[in-house]
């Protein structure tokens, strides 16, 4: 117990230096925990908002449609969706048919492209959660020529509830069609992709106007655990959907591949920044240990003369470095957790910024961004802080131990 005690006392010997170095580590770790918690929170919320408002857990479509999905080809729709939905229901899965097509919303001031999603007003709620997001007016009713707009789209078009809206498009047969609709509601969805450029209308109304004859472009599914989508899809492909060879089922991950790619890139970039913060902290510790050891060369010589072996000396200095790391790490984890707690509890409201700049940050968050707890990262950060300090102290200790005892004792 003598050597750990000596190491601990030495920490107070260079109090200012210890505090400064520990502060650098604390800042690095607190930043790391805060950023990681924020990114994780953004990911969790984005995933939830994707599944609840954009993709569902999975989607059934024809293979031809999936191959050309960017074009949204109505000609590759599912001709007879009801037997498919029945089979899915029998398998205990909620399913909602939808038809997706591109159009041009025309108002007095001009026009802008929109993505029209025709929904089965009753069954859609079994998969998605739009009714709760309606902020003005009401939800769609079956058979009406009504439109439900995202808030940002409504603002861009200058439309309010009760206003008429014209959408030009092409029917399934390729003929030009004009949809004369009335804005019945405006929704503010946590998913900015929906708020920005999406228009909802009743499926039966669209079926008539778009000459779909009962066909739909997709059937969206809701699983109890969307994270198990791939496994569930494999089961469906071999079971309920085996009787429909022209159809395929894709998971929310396949549907949100663009988001996942952006998210991975951002996480990689953030990790690089955090790594740099760590490097700065590590350089600080290394420098502190270098100065500490240099100032104590003669003491080191005395200790060796008195019979301390290299490993004993190394232990003392590494314990000191570990002590600095422990102080910094505990402080950093504490600060990081406090900041994270505040972000989990209250979050940051991004809606103003998103509204003003219409920026697309990739994440499916448009309102309040909350952090999430990431216990493994917090524990790892604590251990890494201590370990990093010990590792960076090794080199100066090693260099000092290469000196002859007599040179150490002569050192001034």
Partner 1 sequence: MSSSENGRGTVSVENVVKTYAAGESVVHALRGVSVQVAQGDFLSIAGPSGSGKTTLLNLVGCIDAPDSGEITIGGTRVSSMNRDALAMFRRRNLGFVFQTFNLIPVLTAAENVSFALSLLGIADREIRERTRAILAEVGLAGMEDRLPSRLSGGQQQRVAVARALVKEPSIVLADEPTANLDSDTGRAILELMRSMNEQHRTTFVFSTHDQMVMDFARRLLRLHDGAIASDERR
Quick one: which H or E segment has residue 201?
strand 198-202
Distance, in Å, from the CA atom of 377 to the CA atom of 265, rounded to the nearest integer, reads: 19
**Interface pick for partner 1 out of 70, 109, 113, 306 (rule CB under 8 A):** 306
Quick one: which H or E segment has residue 15?
helix 15-50
Q: From the CB of residue 284, how many other CB atoms can be counted at a distance below 10 Å?
A: 23
Residue 288 half-sphere exposure, CB side, CA atoms within 13 Å? 32
> Is residue 297 close enough to count as binding partner 1 by CB under 8 A?
no
Q: From the CB of residue 402, how many other CB atoms can be counted at a distance below 10 Å?
A: 8
**Interface pick for partner 1 out of 302, 344, 361, 377 (rule CB under 8 A):** 302
CA distances from 365 to 49, 90, 131 (A): 8, 35, 18
**Interface pick for partner 1 out of 136, 254, 299, 355 (rule CB under 8 A):** 299
Q: Which of these segments, 17-25, 28-36, 306-314, 387-395, binds partner 1 (CB under 8 A)?
A: 306-314
Which CB atom, from 64 or from 308, has the smaller least distance to partner 1? 308
Which CB atom, from 12 or from 357, has the smaller least distance to partner 1? 12
> Is residue 312 close enough to count as binding partner 1 by CB under 8 A?
yes
Which CB atom, from 10 or from 99, has the smaller least distance to partner 1? 10
**Interface pick for partner 1 out of 309, 353, 360, 368 (rule CB under 8 A):** 309
**Interface pick for partner 1 out of 68, 80, 310, 349 (rule CB under 8 A):** 310
Could you tell me how many residues of this chain bind partner 1 (CB under 8 A)? Answer: 23
Q: Quick one: which of 146, 148, 127 has its CA closest to 195?
A: 148
Q: Which residues of 337-358 are buried (b: 16+ CB within 10 A; e: fewer)?
A: bebbeebbeebeebbeebeeee
Q: Under 8 Å CB-to-CB from 352, ≥6 apart: which residues?
A: none
> Is residue 132 close enough to count as binding partner 1 by CB under 8 A?
no
Which CB atom, from 170 or from 298, has the smaller least distance to partner 1? 298
Which CB atom, from 307 or from 376, has the smaller least distance to partner 1? 307
> Is residue 387 close enough to count as binding partner 1 by CB under 8 A?
no
Burial of 198 (0-12, 13-18, 19+ CB in 10 A): buried
Residues near partner 1 (CB under 8 A) are: 2-3, 6, 9-10, 12-13, 298-299, 301-302, 304-310, 312, 404-406, 409
């Amino acid at each position: 117990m003598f050597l750990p005690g000596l190491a601990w006392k030495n920490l107070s010997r260079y109090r200012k230096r210890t505090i400064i170095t520990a502060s650098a580590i604390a800042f690095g770790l607190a930043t790391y925990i805060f950023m990681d918690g924020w990114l994780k929170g953004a990911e969790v919320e984005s995933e939830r908002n994707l599944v609840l408002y954009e993709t569902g857990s999975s989607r059934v479509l024809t293979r031809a449609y999936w191959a050309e999905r960017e074009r949204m080809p109505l000609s590759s729709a599912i001709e007879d969706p009801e037997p498919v939905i029945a089979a899915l229901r029998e398998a205990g899965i909620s399913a909602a048919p939808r038809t997706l097509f591109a159009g041009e919303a025309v108002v007095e001031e001009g026009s802008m492209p929109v993505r029209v999603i025709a929904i089965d007003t009753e069954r859609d709620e079994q998969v998605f959660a739009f009714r709760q997001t309606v902020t003005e007016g009401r939800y769609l009713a079956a058979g009406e020529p009504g439109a439900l707009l995202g808030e940002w789209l409504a603002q861009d078009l200058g439309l309010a509830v009760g206003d008429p809206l014209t959408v030009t498009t092409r029917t399934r047969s390729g003929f030009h069609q004009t949809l004369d609709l009335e804005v019945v509601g405006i929704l503010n969805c946590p998913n900015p992709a929906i708020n920005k450029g999406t228009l909802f209308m009743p499926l039966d109304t669209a079926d008539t106007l778009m000459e779909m004859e009962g066909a739909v472009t997709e059937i969206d599914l809701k699983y109890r655990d969307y994270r198990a989508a791939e496994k569930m899809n494999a089961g469906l492909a071999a079971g309920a959907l085996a009787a429909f060879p022209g159809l395929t089922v894709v998971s929310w991950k396949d549907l949100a591949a663009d988001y996942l790619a952006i998210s991975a890139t951002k996480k990689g970039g953030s990790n690089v920044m955090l790594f740099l913060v760590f490097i700065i902290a590590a350089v600080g510790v290394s420098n502190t240990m270098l100065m500490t050891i240099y100032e104590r060369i003669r003491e080191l010589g005395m200790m060796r003369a008195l019979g301390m072996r290299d490993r004993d000396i190394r232990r003392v200095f590494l314990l000191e470095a570990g002590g600095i790391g422990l102080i910094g790490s505990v402080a950093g984890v504490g600060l990081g957790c406090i900041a994270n707690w505040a972000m989990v509890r209250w979050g940051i409201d991004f809606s103003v910024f998103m509204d003003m700049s219409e920026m697309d940050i990739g994440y499916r968050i448009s309102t309040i961004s909350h952090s999430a707890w990431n216990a493994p990262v917090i524990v790892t950060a604590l251990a890494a802080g201590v370990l990093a300090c010990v590792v960076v102290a090794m080199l100066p200790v090693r260099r000092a131990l290469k000196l002859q005892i007599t040179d150490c004792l002569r050192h001034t």
